[in-house]
Amino acid sequence: EKVPQPEFEGVSYPSFMPFRKKEAKNVIEDIMNVKSRDSDIIICTYAKSGTHWTYEIVNMLLRNTTELDNKSKMQSMLEAVEDLSVLEGVPSPRIMDTHCLFKYLPKQHKQKKVKIVHMIRNPKDVCVSYYYHCLKDVMINFDGTWEEFFELFMSGKLPYGSWYNYELEMERAANDFPETIFTCYYEDMKKDPIREIKKLADFLGTPCSDDTLEKIAKETSFGNMQKNKFDITVIVDGKGFIYRKGEIGDWKNHFTVAQNEKFDAQYKEEMKDSKYQITFE
């Protein structure tokens, strides 16, 4: 059954448990008031940009392991945790994640200049990935066509709002706090995981051997995660839908020529001042 989408400051959210119990404004306020530790890491992503993947890599680096975590990322997703005070019982280093805008991150986390790992994915693949997600996710009220979904994405009306708004805000934040915010690109991670995991390890201050880097890359490959990682969405509809395809360029199987032109025109305009180096294939 479909549920209403909570909304705050012009952005809607999936109807996670906290939003069913509190006003969206209060859910966001509670996130902003989370008490931070110096060792915390927050993974910041727009929806469908590789959050689960980043989580596993960061977890392996911080905990010095090459095994997949058996917890669900939902337990650390700030807007989905029913009672955020449970975070106080989580041993350090804590890894949290959120799709909420940078301006809504815990205030202390920003004041103390605690680390943030940001993963960005080309928005055409994000759009396709999000479409399949929204078709299945009972916490998101969508049962339309691809054409309708495409227009919703273009107009920034999906849960978590506009991709451009999110990513441009992150870019400004990363310029303001270059030592604190590390941006990785989904496409780079996919093409050369060892090189990219090494960069992430340098940022996190968790250097590791070439052998370990190779093991982490192998364990966090799409095929291995799809096969072995517990997928919370199984609980929601009886069939997991997070590990769908995990490829670069699936948008080409979905975008019409006209949609692609429309998308490119908007992208060019919105991103005209951006320095992101996003690749679409």
Contact residues for ligand A3P, defined by CB under 6 A? 45, 48-53, 125, 129, 132, 190, 220-222, 225, 242-246, 250
Q: How many CB atoms lie within 10 A of CB 115?
A: 20
Helix 146-154, helix 257-270: angle, nearest 10:
10
Backbone angles phi, psi at 44, to 5 degrees: -110, 125
Beta carbons within 10 angstroms of residue 138's beta carbon: 13
Least distance CB 121 / ligand A3P (angstroms): 8
Q: Minimal distance in Å, beta carbon 171 to ligand A3P?
A: 18
Nearer to ligand A3P, 40 or 219 (CB): 219
CB of 147 to ligand A3P, least distance (A): 19
Strand order of the β-sheet with 181-185 is 95-98, 41-45, 115-120, 181-185
Nearer to ligand A3P, 30 or 125 (CB): 125
Q: Rank residues 19 and 55 by Cβ distance to ligand A3P and give the closer one.
A: 55
* Shortest Å distance, C-beta 45 to ligand A3P: 5
Q: Is the dihedral of CA 230, 200, 248, 127 positive or negative?
A: positive
Catalytic site includes residue 99: yes
Given 52, 99, 109, 133, the catalytic residue: 99
CB-nearer residue toward ligand A3P: 31 or 225: 225
Q: How far apart are CA 232 and CA 50, in angstroms?
A: 15
Active site residues: 99
